[in-house]
Amino acid sequence: MDSYRLRNMRSYARYACIIAAIIISGIFALSIGTVNVSTDKVFKIVLSRLPVLKDFIIKNWTATDETIILQLRFPRIILSFLVGAELSAAGTIYQGVFRNPMADPYIIGSSAGASLGASLGILFFPAMKIFGIGSVPFFAFIGAAGTIFLVYSLASVGGRTYSFTLLLSGVAVSSFISALVSFFMYFSDERLHQIYFWLMGSFSSQGWNEVYLNLPYGVIGFVFAYWNLREINILQLGEETAFFTGVDTERVKRMSLAAASLLTASAVAVSGVIGFVGLIIPHITRAIIGPDYRQLFSVSALVGGLYLMLADTISRVIIAPTELPVGILTALFGGPFFIYLLFQKKNKDYKI
């Protein structure tokens, strides 16, 4: 019992530290930018929106400060956190289901499909609004979800989905769709820069509408993924072993991959292609807390949200007053880490 309580205390302390880091980082991110706003003003502006406290806050900020904090930075910070959490959680699920440390959220073509959808929205429906949402995130989500459905359909053999055929289908479909995107870019003329900027990944023009678009799909994806974490733990022993212990491996794979793909699609739709988050964060988290997916899933989501929120903050200020797409920054961090993982896996697999 003492050992159980100690583990619980460590788990609670871990979550408390991560949540404290998220809050502190969020306040820091709200306060800095092209126009700096002091942290005490940030606190007061945010607290003034709470019905219980708004009458007790003495206003010492301008309308411009309030607009910058509540309409520009706050939704962007929330969205970057949500996208980071979704990509990290999806990466954790993909690595668990495929039992492959190199798997990431874009492995079955969601980013390629989202890129195609976004390109179509930019080229043919630039001014369209659908339920108050711009055409680019809407078509990006449709493209990502449609591509995932196509890959699943191609990989299904006799009602079963095999990891190997799923990966091959994802590569094949991604290659074809990437060729279509390149075709559209070649003929896009003045909109080429807009497509290219979206493909690099950025939160520069995103607001509350994108948060509202992302949030419900993210919640659904998290809930469905969470239901299967115990079974994913058992899958690490091998599919045969898991089957003979009573796990319906096909159901677990289908539900887990569908949930992870929904998380990925909702993230890519509002942020563009931001690579390596779902690859490196689960690895770092696993090295700290161990391989139990019931803990790894939620901690990876929180750490991933924190990571992308900080990365986006850096991308806003590093070359101010202009902005660096956050996808470039995550690639600069993630590329060397991917090479490290590759060499580590090669040395492990071929060690004599």
pLDDT band for position 168 (50/70/90)? confident
Q: Is the dihedral of CA 37, 41, 43, 44 positive or negative?
A: negative
Over residues 273-280, mean pLDDT: 89
* pLDDT tens track for 70-109: 999 999 999 999 999 999 999 999 889 888 777 788 878 8
Nearest-Å Rg of the Cα atoms of the chain is: 21
Where are the chain's structural domains? 83-349
Q: Phi and psi dihedrals of 49, rounded to 5?
A: -90, -5
Per CATH, which fold does 83-349 belong to?
ABC transporter involved in vitamin B12 uptake, BtuC (1.10.3470)
Closest by CA position to 220, among listed 75, 90, 110: 90
Q: Which two tokens stand for residue 149?
A: 């459905």
Q: Can you give the pLDDT at residue 225?
A: 92
Q: Can you give the pLDDT at residue 1?
A: 47
How far, CA to CA in Å, does 83 sit from each of 182, 218, 254, 305? 25, 9, 22, 7
* pLDDT tens track for 5-25: 766 777 888 899 999 999 999
Q: Can you give the pLDDT at residue 21?
A: 95
| Residues 263 and 86 sit within 8 Å (Cβ to Cβ) | yes
Over residues 204-211, mean pLDDT: 86
pLDDT band for position 282 (50/70/90)? very high
Q: Can you give the pLDDT at residue 352?
A: 41
- pLDDT higher than threshold 50 for residue 236: yes
pTM summary value: 0.89
- % of the chain exceeding 90 in pLDDT: 26
Burial of 243 (0-12, 13-18, 19+ CB in 10 A): middle
The 8-class DSSP code of residue 129 comes to E
Q: Can you give the pLDDT at residue 130?
A: 66
* pLDDT tens track for 13-67: 889 999 999 999 999 999 998 888 888 898 888 888 887 777 778 888 888 888 9
